[in-house]
Amino acid sequence: MPPLARPRVLDGIIVLAYFLVAFVLYVDLWLDLSHGYLVDSGEDQNLFEWFFAVQAQGLAHGHVPLFSTLQNYPLGVNLMGNTAMPGLAVPLAPLTWLFGPTVTWAVILTAGLAGTATGWYVVFSRHLVQSRWAAGIGGACCAFAPPVISHAHAHPNFTAMFVLPVIVLWLLRLAERGRTLRDGLILGLLVALQVLIGEEPLLILATGLLVMVLAWLVMRPAQVLAAARRALPGIGLGALIAVWLVGYPLWMQFFGPASYKSLLHGPAGNDLSAFVSLPRQSFGGQLVNPGQYVDNPTEQNSFFGWPLIGLLAIVMVWLWREIPARLAGITVLVIFAMSYGGHALLYGQPTGIPGPWLLMGKLPLFESLIEARMTFAALPAIGMLLALASDQMLRASMPNPVRGLGWLTPRRLWFVALSLAVIPILPVRFTVEPRPAAPAFFTDGAWEQYVRPGHTLVTVPLPAAGYASPLHWQVVAGLRFPIAEGYFVGPAGPSKDGTYGAVPTPTSALLTGVAQTGAVPALTTANQAQAVADLRYWNADAVVLAAAQPNFEALRTTVDQLLGPGQGRDGVVVWNARALTGG
């Protein structure tokens, strides 16, 4: 056997290729870890770095890193109710201590993509196809497809999905050999770990697997029942172990302080036209329309492009007689139908076509899920289809060219078609720009002259979903003071429905309005009294306005009228709140 054909050598080459591709995508971030910021992450890079830093600090002080009052003081933030990823943030805490949360952020994003591809490659190469190269194509699809790349700017919980294929691997082992104790124990450990990394991808995968198993049950009931008899005891044991391991974190998430019932977001399905559109973060998207505008570049969950959709349709018809391909095809179609929501839209216009989400969206857990993200459940099935088709062509003996096409054999024709389908959606390098520098007030420790231990610092405007720079300033200052309000998911109102950011106080709402409009409102003594009351509620020692803040003059004038003249120093204007609050 030639050296390059040896299975272990091929494994190494393919896995190395995954890591190289992931590194190239994030290379600009790696080259400027001190200042680089992923442009399309919005405020999420600040948020996730805050998550990683807070959990590392909590671990260093011997605290269970599931809740923090460093943000949204005094109510705090339920970290389990947010995408804080303790399953990675905690074991990587030493990395955060030594090099800072930006390095942890870059490691999780890069290794997450490569690890996800590797995990599915192992599943496909061991249980689906004979050709390692075909499995490599399927694995790449699961990690570098447009939905994942879209989220890879900002949501590491949707890139670090490498545990999911390992869960599938152990489910397959239970179905094949039924070693209840050993395999059930490992399955429980894996599920518990995935809960602490990302519950949403786990729920989406479980839904996709359920669709596939139900389709298999219809086609081969005897096979499914036999596999179920072998697997169910181990699955039950795994469920018990997982609940035992993450029972307290889950209780904290759903019943602990700052918990919420459900995250309401309204209809958020995929427009049918999106399935055949090219994603922005792709070779084709940049070439055809580099200036295209999307409301949220991190939610292009269905932009597979018409060449790939057309190729998948051909593969489904071609391989329909093969059970694995039929199961994968059915899963893709059902999941796509789920992802367009309760009623399908075409170019923004109602089609009158209802979808499964009309019922699913009312179920517990699913009610908080953005239905457009269900396409993630289709990625392993799409990978299966591409791997199966490639495997057939690589193993078949087809030396004769297609009639009239000269050198073009069926095998070559397949890989030409695959290349033409994939090239338009190949991801391009992520755009990185310098992050605005934190004011010297935070970097040189001047804030310590104003904020006492246990008291808060209030920024102008207050941090929210669209403005999270104060979280970065807090991290730069060593997380040594809490801040008022912030960017997170927490409860709102008596119903405790989830919302992004804190429920604004009258003062924070006023300052946000000034920041957005640049207009100084007419203020009254009631506004001044309310500002003092809000400062007391926040237990504030200082109010700070960065000199580089847009609409700086309007904001300074407004706060001067509310609190009296501020003092300019170290790149900020600071108001001492102690005299006002009686602190």
Taking only the tens of pLDDT, the chain with its 583 residues reads: 555 557 788 999 999 999 999 999 999 999 999 999 999 999 999 999 999 999 999 999 988 889 999 999 999 999 999 999 999 999 999 999 999 999 999 999 999 999 999 999 999 999 999 999 999 999 999 999 999 999 999 999 999 999 999 999 999 999 998 788 999 999 999 999 999 999 999 999 999 999 999 999 999 999 999 999 999 999 999 999 999 999 999 999 999 999 998 887 778 899 999 999 999 889 888 887 644 545 678 899 999 999 999 999 999 999 999 999 999 999 999 999 999 998 999 988 999 999 999 999 889 999 999 999 999 999 999 999 999 999 999 987 666 665 656 667 788 889 999 999 999 999 999 999 999 999 999 999 999 999 999 999 999 999 999 999 999 999 999 999 999 999 999 999 888 899 999 999 999 999 999 999 999 999 999 999 999 999 999 999 999 999 999 999 999 999 999 999 999 999 999 999 998 887 6
Residue at token pair 């429905």: 497
What pLDDT is attached to residue 285?
A: 86
Contacts (Cβ under 8 Å, ≥6 apart) of 204: 369, 373, 374, 376, 377
Backbone angles phi, psi at 490, to 5 degrees: -150, 180
Cα 430 to chain centroid, rounded: 16
SS (H, E, C) 372-423: HHHHHHHHHHHHHHHHHHHHHHHHCCCCCCCCCCCCCCHHHHHHHHHHHHHH
Which tokens hold the place of 216?
């298999």
The whole-number pLDDT of residue 293 equals 45
Entry field: residues in the chain:
583
Answer yes or no: are the C-beta atoms of 97 and 60 closer than 8 Å.
Answer: yes
pLDDT score of 411 = 85
| pLDDT the model gives residue 397 | 67
How far is residue 236 from each of residues 169, 173, 182, 240, 246, measured CA to CA in Å? 16, 15, 13, 6, 15
pTM flag (> 0.75) = yes
Q: For residues 468 and 71, what is the distance between their CA atoms, to the nearest angstrom? A: 11
Q: Say which residue the tokens 């949360």 belong to.
A: 101
Do 465 and 82 meet the contact criterion of CB atoms below 8 Å apart? no
CB contact set of 291 (below 8 Å; sequence gap of 6+): none
Report the SS3 class of residue 546.
Answer: strand
Structure tokens that stand for 541 in this block: 């020692």
Which residue type, as a one-letter code, is found at position 325? A
Q: What is the pLDDT of residue 67?
A: 96
Taking only the tens place, the pLDDT of each residue in 274-292 is 999 999 889 888 887 644 5
- The DSSP secondary structure of 8-19, one letter per residue, reads HHHHHHHHHHHH
Query: At 156, is the secondary structure helix, strand, or coil?
Result: helix
- Of 499, 49, 534, give the one whose Cα is nearest residue 259: 499
**Structural domain boundaries in the chain:** 3-36+100-425, 440-581
**C-beta separation of 155 from 207 below 8 A:** no
